[in-house]
Amino acid sequence: LTIKAGSYADELVKTAKTVASPGHGIMAMDESNATCGKRLASIGLENTEANRQAYRTLLVSAPGLGNYVSGAILFEETLYQSTVDGKKIVDILVEQKIVPGIKVDKGLVPLAGSNDESWCQGLDGLASRCAAYYQQGARFAKWRTVVSIPNGPSALAVKEAAWGLARYASIAQDNGLVPIVEPEILLDGEHGIDRTFEVAQNVWAEVFFYLAQNNVMFEGILLKPSMVTPGAECKERATPEQVAEYTLNLLKRRIPPAVPGIMFLSGGQSELEATLNLNAMNQSPNPWHVSFSYARALQNTCLKTWGGLPENVKAAQDVLLTRAKANSLAQLGKYTG
């Protein structure tokens, strides 16, 4: 059965399956230099290449990380970076059996004609960049665009987000990279969980419409959705069971079982919430690998524990491993706290 002509088809399917393997998820460490600067500022460090290098080295070299993490998303700087000892960061990941991935979007800018919404840049030159990233060892890619509930979302913003994701996904596959499709529905807002559910259904319907129109091979993609939760400022909070029920309903209604992996973002949830919600979603069998692609929910305590001091590296790595293991168990539905 030929699903898509294209020299990378078999490899894409294999890569996606490797990342979506039982008990494993993704460590997102692809903060842009600006965002990484904010994280470093929170522990009183300057945003220098040396500090970013030290922090990223700590993350990728945590001993045994590959027992829980199957993929790591890097920012371009890190893909080409070595440790202070001159070892390529990509090589450390491969030794840990962690597939290197790369953020390929060029970030958000205002979307003219919308309700103060944004769109994601990066399609110009994307094919040649993807080809170069593949040469450098990347095997999957990420494109993050956002949808804001308080600002609408307008039909225009949703369509633009979906179309951009679909063009990107097609180009990434053409160049051997498994595309992570990430339309982040931001947590901000006072809306209840039903409103998030309604918006998420609309967004994913459009995303899959355009993915199909662009001949994207569903067996060779990964998704990075937001969980369906109440807005961050909504007074009525939801239990992990409620989040799981809403989110699984969304997946069942909108996501074909051909898609191998659903790797949720944490989006500002606490470390524990993100683990509990993932664990609740894995209490019953479902057609996909339902897992994590967390940045903040893996890194927050690790970063604080490190504080920029070499003598804290081991303690910080231990904290990272604790979170990674907890989420690995949650992927299996076996997290008990």
In the complex, minimum distance from the CB of residue 9 to ligand 13P, in angstroms, rounded to a whole number: 26
Cite the beta strand spans of the chain per DSSP E: 25-29, 69-74, 99-103, 108-110, 118-120, 140-147, 178-185, 222-223, 261-264, 289-294
Question: Which member of 92, 297, 303, 329 binds ligand 13P (CB under 6 A)?
Answer: 297
Give the interface segment with ligand 13P, choosing from 40-48, 61-69, 201-209, 293-301 (CB under 6 A). Answer: 293-301
Give the interface segment with ligand 13P, choosing from 77-85, 247-255, 288-296, 325-333 (CB under 6 A). Answer: 288-296
Footprint of ligand 13P on 9-48 (CB under 6 A): 28
Give the interface segment with ligand 13P, choosing from 38-46, 289-297, 309-317, 318-326 (CB under 6 A). Answer: 289-297
- Name the catalytic one among 76, 117, 160, 182: 182
Instruction: Specify which residues 222 forms β-bridges with.
Output: 180, 261
Q: Please tell me whether residue 139 binds ligand 13P under the rule CB under 6 A.
A: no
Q: 114 or 266: whose CB is closer to ligand 13P? A: 266
Q: Please tell me whether residue 140 binds ligand 13P under the rule CB under 6 A.
A: no
Q: Please tell me whether residue 75 binds ligand 13P under the rule CB under 6 A.
A: no
Q: What six digits make up the tokens of 294?
A: 């967390």
Question: Which member of 92, 169, 295, 330 binds ligand 13P (CB under 6 A)?
Answer: 295
Long-range CB contacts (within 8 A, 24+) of 93-97: 93/60, 94/137, 96/60, 96/61, 96/65, 96/66, 96/69, 97/66, 97/70
Q: Using alpha carbons only, give the angle 164, 169, 171 rounded to the nearest 5 degrees.
A: 100
Query: Do you find a cis peptide bond into 100, omega within 30 degrees of 0?
Result: no
224 is catalytic: yes
